[in-house]
Structure 1
């Protein structure tokens, strides 16, 4: 990973009270993180195609000079390098999603001459619910298997 990679990580601390209620210890929730990784990759690609932030806010239009240079009004999809360089790493208790194309950091945060176009985020309610659903589903399945 380069110094410019943007990532978000989460761990099982958020879910400890639920796990205690379920009577399950989860030292490995990697399968839930893998399912979430597939989901977030698909969602992020769709969001880029829709030219919106993770919260659904439309990105600002390209500058006329950029449109002339690129000969297109598509944002972040001139070569598809950024879209094709998305990846995730699922661990036993952690998850990371990133984009290997170093140019995305400039797009995500913006520059003096370019507005930010937020690409990665798990702060939307839908995405938090989905992560919770994957972990809860995995823990319920694990608990049911344990009882048999």
Structure 2
């Protein structure tokens, strides 16, 4: 039987390549990613496990602003090492004046996250699941 072992990469289209390239460049530098490839109209970053690419939308795509709730992409979550990393990400986002739609907090049992928007309104998340449970079981993170 075929089994998926992970998600290799995500590619999104953006309305203004320069603005999004700068936004994601700062975000991914903070998150420890490096540029994987820059081809002028497409750029990707990686941390050795995850790859994230952006490219400019075509003229037809730019006619329709992204809206959470449409068919398609809802949000993308970056799993972080710790709750402290979530808090550090939130502090970075505030310094960068990124729109935070849901501040760092407990959203589900032992699920700590911050939600924010990219320049096109695509929802992104930094999260840590299971840290309190692991600590309680004596498995520090």
What is the TM-score of this pair, normalised by structure 2? 0.27
Of structures 1 and 2, the one scoring higher in RCO (CA 8 A, sep 6+) is 1
Which structure has more helix as a fraction of its residues?
1
What is the TM-score of this pair, normalised by structure 1? 0.26
